[in-house]
Amino acid sequence: MILEKLKLFWSLLKKTGLSWVDNDPFGNSAIVAYYALFSLPSLLMLVAWIAGSIYGVEAVRGKIVDKIGGLIGEGVSEAIEGMIANASLNEGSTITVVIGVGMLLFGATGVFVRLKKAMNDIWNVESKKTVWLQMLRDRVISFGMVLVLGFLFLISLVLSVVLKALSTYISAFAPDIAVVIATFFSLLLPFCVITGLFAALFRLLPDIHIRWKTTFLGAALTTVLFLLGEYMLGYYFSTSDPTSVYGGASSVVLILLWVYYTCLIMFFGSEFTFQYANHIEEKVEPNENALPKHKQKEV
């Protein structure tokens, strides 16, 4: 039984790899990384606002910067901190604030709009020719993804505080057990939060009807690959000096590299979800705003 499931999993991986290469993941990842470079300050600022509504904006910004610093390096985290600060809205007239918020939302959602197009290519669907309505809808969905991201980050922060308090309480009478519990949940919590984020991306971004249940296997695989890549990139950045190669542009290059790898993994996970849906014969169809690619659009 287990051997059959392993064979099936390997077969799905092979099909996924072939389909993944056919959809030009390297080109799409490079494009998304370029968009992300301009969207990142606004995106992180909005996430800080959303999660900070309960936890405190400055505290959340600090957590974001610390996380990025641990992954890519202190130099890059300082650059990110400066980006977030520059994206913050200064006091001014009502019109200035409204325009600022609009530009912030437009910038933060840009990367999700590009991700949506790439995922539509994976699922062989394309948007209808209602250009302005489609653009507005894409931005609304993308803003929804920003809200999801902020909400998941908030959950992560709250659970971290709860687990820390629980660990402190248990350590008073069973320190060894407290260490085991803290280690276990420090691994489980990021896995669950990131899997939830990838599942939301696979379910909400493409113009398709698909069950949540179907997306979670691909999301879990994507999370494993993402965390593995996070560890390898962190090890590379900590044991080498990539800044010596790119000089003053090193922060930008390292951000692009990290986003590029994340997109490669994300597209692979989306391809795997596509192959898995085909295997279980789930009828995945375009939603009311899209058409199958093999059909001609109505003029």
How would residue 142 be classed by pLDDT, with cut points 50, 70 and 90? low
Beta-carbon count within 10 A of 148 CB = 16
Instruction: Confirm whether 50 is domain-assigned.
Output: yes
Determine the Cα–Cα distance for residues 231 and 71; give it in Å rounded to an integer.
Answer: 8
Instruction: Confirm whether 187 is domain-assigned.
Output: yes
Cβ contacts of 32 within 8 Å, gap of 6 or more: 111, 114, 115, 118, 259, 263
How would residue 13 be classed by pLDDT, with cut points 50, 70 and 90? very high
Mean pLDDT score across all residues of the chain: 77
Query: Looking at the 3D structure of the chain, how many domains does it have?
Result: 1
How would residue 277 be classed by pLDDT, with cut points 50, 70 and 90? very high
Instruction: Confirm whether 91 is domain-assigned.
Output: yes
What's residue 74's pLDDT?
59
Range of the domain at 150: 23-282
When mean pLDDT is compared across 108-112, 158-162, 258-262, the lowest value belongs to 158-162
Determine the Cα–Cα distance for residues 133 and 57; give it in Å rounded to an integer.
Answer: 33
Tell me 290's DSSP state. E
Q: Do 264 and 26 form a contact (C-beta atoms < 8 A)?
A: yes
155-180: pLDDT as tens digits:
666 666 666 776 776 777 777 777 77
Nearest Cα to 44, choosing from 76, 9, 12, 2? 76
Mean per-residue pLDDT for 39-63? Answer: 72
66-94: pLDDT as tens digits:
766 665 655 566 666 666 666 555 555 45
Instruction: Confirm whether 171 is domain-assigned.
Output: yes
Instruction: Confirm whether 13 is domain-assigned.
Output: no
- Which carries the bigger pLDDT value, residue 154 or residue 256? 256
Instruction: Confirm whether 1 is domain-assigned.
Output: no
176-206: pLDDT as tens digits:
777 777 777 777 888 888 899 899 999 988 9
pTM: 0.79
Strand partners, 125: 292
- Which carries the bigger pLDDT value, residue 14 or residue 294? 14
